[in-house]
Amino acid sequence: MSNDKSTRVQRAADGMDKDVVRLADRLKTTGETEQDADLRLLEALLFAAAEPIDVATLRERMPEDVDVGVLIARLARDYAGRGINLVNVADRWRFQTAPDLEGALVDIKEAPRKLSRAALETLSIIAYHQPVTRAEIEDVRGVAVSKGTIDVLMELSWVRVRGRRRTPGRPVTYGTTEDFLAHFNLEQISDLPGQEELKAAGLLDSRLPKDFEVPTPMSTMDIDEDPIEEDDDTEFMLDFMDDGDAPKDL
């Protein structure tokens, strides 16, 4: 009787061992344990990055057979309701504090550099009208644009030289940068607020002319624009030669 009992116990133990082995094999086959390890690696890469990081760079750092897109989606979902979110800015990914917590962090955030009215107006014109030349900016503002105004925006890495217009004089054209998108939490330039949104925010006069329209920002090369050449530094300076009696920037 005792031997029969021992035999049954041994069979049960053997059966449990087999079940454990089958479970381990199934987990290994489905890749669940590997995916968790890959997710941890992706999380570490994003956390350690000094700036937003693109998917191509992440793929270079991850194992070859990993679906980075799937892991990013899972990680973004996991962090969606937390104090830190995984967000996409300018086709790059980064961790940032949740927008609704901004008020609690305002005292420990670095104070942003305050732009002049001229710089703000110039930045807005470039963002909405790009590619745009200095003369076109002046036409919209009604006053001359000083070199210093453009310099400030370029030092902030919010504005860049895009190319040259195919017109006499070959004036340079300006556009926004990926840093501009990242600073204002925009995934792409077309995410800028439209006319109705600007009106609702009180940024546009409700008594605007009927034919007034807010242009749709573009990020692709314009049909009348050539890419900038690497040796164009000297010509770029000529774009800001003294205009004599031109009205001064405000």
pLDDT in tens, 91-136: 889 998 888 887 777 665 555 667 888 898 899 889 988 888 999 9
Q: Are 94 and 87 in contact (CB under 8 A)?
A: yes
- How buried is 77 (Cβ within 10 angstroms: 0-12 exposed, 13-18 middle, 19+ buried)? exposed
Q: Identity (one letter) of the amino acid at 150?
A: I
**Which of 20-29, 131-140, 218-227 shows the lowest mean pLDDT across its residues?**
20-29
Across the range 24-34, mean pLDDT stands at 54
Determine the pLDDT at residue 242.
45
Neighbours of 130 (CB within 10 A): 22
Domains 32-99 and 117-238 share a fold: yes
Using CA atoms, how far apart are residues 126 and 134, in angstroms rounded to an integer?
Answer: 9
Which CB contacts under 8 angstroms, 24+ apart, belong to 75-84?
A: 75/39, 75/42, 75/43, 75/46
Average pLDDT, the chain: 77
In the chain, count of helices (H) and strands (E)?
11, 6
Q: pTM for this one?
A: 0.54
Q: Are 84 and 97 in contact (CB under 8 A)?
A: yes
Neighbours of 53 (CB within 10 A): 16
Determine the pLDDT at residue 212.
56
Q: Residue 247 pLDDT > 50, yes or no?
A: no
Predicted confidence (pLDDT) per residue in 176-196, tens digit: 998 898 888 888 888 888 777
Predicted confidence (pLDDT) per residue in 67-81, tens digit: 999 999 999 999 988
Helix, strand, or coil here: 93? Answer: strand
Q: Residue 241 pLDDT > 60, yes or no?
A: no
Kindly list the domain boundaries of the chain, sorted by start residue: 32-99, 117-238
The CATH number of 32-99 is 1.10.10.10
Determine the pLDDT at residue 184.
86
Using CA atoms, how far apart are residues 209 and 29, in angstroms rounded to an integer?
Answer: 66
Determine the pLDDT at residue 227.
79
CATH T-level topology, domain 117-238: Arc Repressor Mutant, subunit A (1.10.10)
